[in-house]
Amino acid sequence: MISKSPPLCMYPAGWKLLAMLALVLVVMVWYSISREDSLYFSIPEKKEPCYQGEAERKASKLFGNSSRDQPIFLQLKDYFWVKTPSAYELPFGTKGSEDLLLRVLALTSYSIPESIQSLKCRRCVVVGNGHRLRNSSLGEAINKYDVVIRLNNAPVSGYEGDVGTKTTMRLFYPESAHFNPKVENNPDTLLVLVAFKAMDFHWIETILSDKKRVRKGFWKQPPLIWDANPKQIRILNPFFMEIAADKLLSLPMQQSRKKPTTGLLAITLALHLCDLVHIAGFGYPDAFNKKQTIHYYEQITLKSMAGSGHNVSQEALAIKRMLEIGAVKNLTYF
């Protein structure tokens, strides 16, 4: 007859082993939960309470006394009746580009839609272009925000489940403009030009006035035909580029080769426009991860950022600081 040994747990050593395994399991679960909480912002079934001026109050720790008194978009009257002085050249100011800007502002608009103006509390989400949005299933949640801000030529079509379909504003510059702005935007989407150089003003003027296009002066050929409604075009106030560079990245305003990304600029804008600011799809792969794509919609890697004029590691620190003080909350991990 074969005698059976008692279960492992009957021996003192077995109890110790089981206890150690249980302790390891508890620690792993705790670490996973704590890490998850730090990387993800769970989306509640009900809307998060929104308090007027809340984002601005928290952002004041970063930006100081800058407030909503600064216009979001440039307007003609500030350059037509009086010459608005600017201490810096583009992209941090309009110094030296006033005459060209005057012609552009005569063709575009500056108003914020009444649907946003009338809100007692503005809930906004800035949708980045990062690979973290892939398979996120955030589309439905993103569509519920009052204001959805998107960047450059990031597509919506084909990615609706992850990124949603609503676009209130899209920040872009000529080289990042989608060749057909009506394809990836809603009819009422505001197309917000971020001017990095004087040629950017020249591009939008030639497009809207149907003048002879200039092909030189761009690092990548922008659209030569761009079917957009002038009433939907806005010119972003360079003030936001200035404070993003100065307050968040500590960049010198004069002759700086480094500039904030459109994404960081969009968050800065949102903190001045909105009362509640969430972000999604921000963050780059680790520097050692050479094969990880940086966008949810295309197969380019971090290598493509070399020579871009952006300090992505410094921007990551700036966004982490915003998350720490609660100025923004993250819908994806960072």
What's the mean pLDDT in 297-318?
80
Residue 229's domain comprises 50-330
| 57 contacts: CB under 8 Å, gap ≥ 6 | none
For residue 30, is it within any domain? Answer: no
For residue 39, is it within any domain? Answer: no
**CATH number of the domain to which 82 belongs:** 3.90.1480.20
- Structural domain count of the chain: 1
Question: Can you give the pLDDT at residue 195?
Answer: 97
Q: Which of 245, 224, 307 is nearest to 93 (CA)?
A: 245
Question: Can you give the pLDDT at residue 254?
Answer: 76
User: Tens of pLDDT along 19-75?
Assistant: 666 565 544 544 443 333 334 444 544 578 999 999 999 999 999 876 667 899 999
Least confidently predicted of 148-162, 220-234, 247-261: 247-261
For residue 193, is it within any domain? Answer: yes
Q: What is the mean pLDDT of the chain?
A: 86
**How far is the C-alpha of 101 from the C-alpha of 97, rounded, in Å?**
6
Question: Can you give the pLDDT at residue 304?
Answer: 66
For residue 19, is it within any domain? Answer: no
For residue 81, is it within any domain? Answer: yes
For residue 57, is it within any domain? Answer: yes
CA R_g for the chain: 24
Q: And the tokens for 52?
A: 């007027």
For residue 170, is it within any domain? Answer: yes
Higher per-residue confidence, 18 vs 133: 133
For residue 79, is it within any domain? Answer: yes
Question: Can you give the pLDDT at residue 13?
Answer: 60
